[in-house]
Amino acid sequence: MSKRILLKLASTLAMSATLGAAQAQNTPIKFQLDWRFEGPAALFLSPAAKGYFKDAKLDVSIDAGNGSGGTVTRVASGTYDLGFADLAALMEFHANNPDSPNKPVAIMMVYNNTPASVMALKKSGIKTLADLSGKKFGAPVFDAGRRAFPIFAKANNITNVQWTAMDPPLRETMLARGDVDAITGFTFTSLLNLEARGVKAADVVVFPYAENGVKLYGNVIIATPKILKENPAAVKAFLAAFTKGVKEVVAKPEAAIESVRQRDGIINVAMETRRLKLAIDTAVNSPDARAEGFGQVKGPRLTLMASQVSDAFNTKTRVNADAVWNASFLPTKAELDILPKK
């Protein structure tokens, strides 16, 4: 073997060792989404694709989820370090598992308003909230809107509702077929799924929870107590990198959707772009979010939600609002000032 080849080999090995050492320094973080790789997942996939987590010395892996309840459970088990889940699901876990030593904690608000809504077809004759009383509703048993429906019903004096359970893929199909009168679901999920089944958006009546007396918070980033205690710097770095990414996703959702396509090549790009925009407008950059500040919560509103969830979910113990929320890992308010004014 010539001297030249030996030198080249030595150089390659040295470079590999350097890269390996650099990678070894990056803190591994396993992250679980609340749902599939759809439009809103760009909030996390885009900063990952742009290398913002790597720049923060983090090695972040992002997996799809199958519902907030599952995400909370997997973070609680230690399978994942961080996750994205409905705050009500986290509250329920806390109140039903008071002795669990590994209850996850919410560390950043992302969906300032729950995206849940009641949806019906105009042809059903449902035009107002009062028309929902006595109707047949459909939703998966774990659906966030269904779980919180007692709060919505109380706020709007809706009574005598009958529920039909189904798997998520059948929800919009059953509404389109007339098997149920109304459904609950995230607006940006069910509305577009109805369109995919041939229903025009103009033919759908939508009653968003946030616009009808229900000020529940939506999805938050949650963390296992282990990583909060053992590596708080990594958690802060994650939230800072994520916030940087969200600012760009909100500004240019059409570009951000590419990060979702990279993870799922068969998505309908146009539809998922619309889904992302809907999520941004209704939950991320909502009037409440701009008033309270991205990533943050207001104590009185959080306390009210804890009480409402305790009642609606009939939890074993009352939800302790102070136990589910920890704002100490958030970037500064100046850094969180990322939402464009409307």
> What sign for the dihedral angle of Cα 11, 17, 21, 24?
positive
Query: What pLDDT is stored for residue 221 in this prediction?
Result: 98
pTM, entire model = 0.91
3-state secondary structure (DSSP) of residue 67: coil
Burial 214-248 (b: 16+ CB within 10 A, else e): bbbbbbbbbbbbebbeebeebbbbbbbbbbbbbbb
Give average pLDDT by consecutive 10-residue segment, the chain, 342 residues.
51 48 76 97 98 98 95 98 98 97 97 97 96 97 94 97 96 97 96 94 96 97 98 98 98 98 95 96 96 97 97 96 98 96 75
Q: Is residue 21 part of a domain?
A: no
User: Domains in the chain: how many in total?
Assistant: 2
Query: What pLDDT is stored for residue 18 in this prediction?
Result: 44
Query: Among 211, 227, 245, where does a domain finish?
Result: 211
Q: Is residue 327 part of a domain?
A: yes
Query: What pLDDT is stored for residue 17 in this prediction?
Result: 46
Q: Is residue 8 part of a domain?
A: no
Q: Is residue 97 part of a domain?
A: yes
Residues 200 and 128 in one domain: yes
- What is the spatial distance between Cα 167 and Cα 173, in angstroms, rounded to a whole number? 11
Residues 93 and 238 in one domain: yes
- What is the spatial distance between Cα 27 and Cα 233, in angstroms, rounded to a whole number? 10
Q: Is residue 13 part of a domain?
A: no
Q: Is residue 221 part of a domain?
A: yes
* Position 162, amino acid: Q
Query: What pLDDT is stored for residue 25 in this prediction?
Result: 85
Taking the CA atoms of residue 4, residue 5, residue 6 and residue 7 in that order, the dihedral angle to the nearest 10 degrees is 50
- What is the spatial distance between Cα 239 and Cα 248, in angstroms, rounded to a whole number? 14
Around 175, how many Cα atoms within 13 Å sit in the side-chain half-sphere?
Answer: 36
Token digits of residue 341: 């004014």
Is there a contact between 64 and 37 (Cβ–Cβ < 8 Å)?
yes
Residues 100 and 241 in one domain: yes
Residues 229 and 150 in one domain: no
Residues 94 and 31 in one domain: yes
Residues 94 and 137 in one domain: no
Residues 187 and 259 in one domain: no
- Domain residues for the domain of 129 are 116-211
Residues 49 and 78 in one domain: yes
Token digits of residue 333: 């308010």
Residues 126 and 106 in one domain: no
Query: What pLDDT is stored for residue 341 in this prediction?
Result: 83
Is there a contact between 139 and 103 (Cβ–Cβ < 8 Å)?
no
Residues 124 and 183 in one domain: yes
Query: Among 196, 211, 226, where does a domain finish?
Result: 211
Q: Give the CATH number, domain containing residue 275.
A: 3.40.190.10
Token digits of residue 159: 């009574």
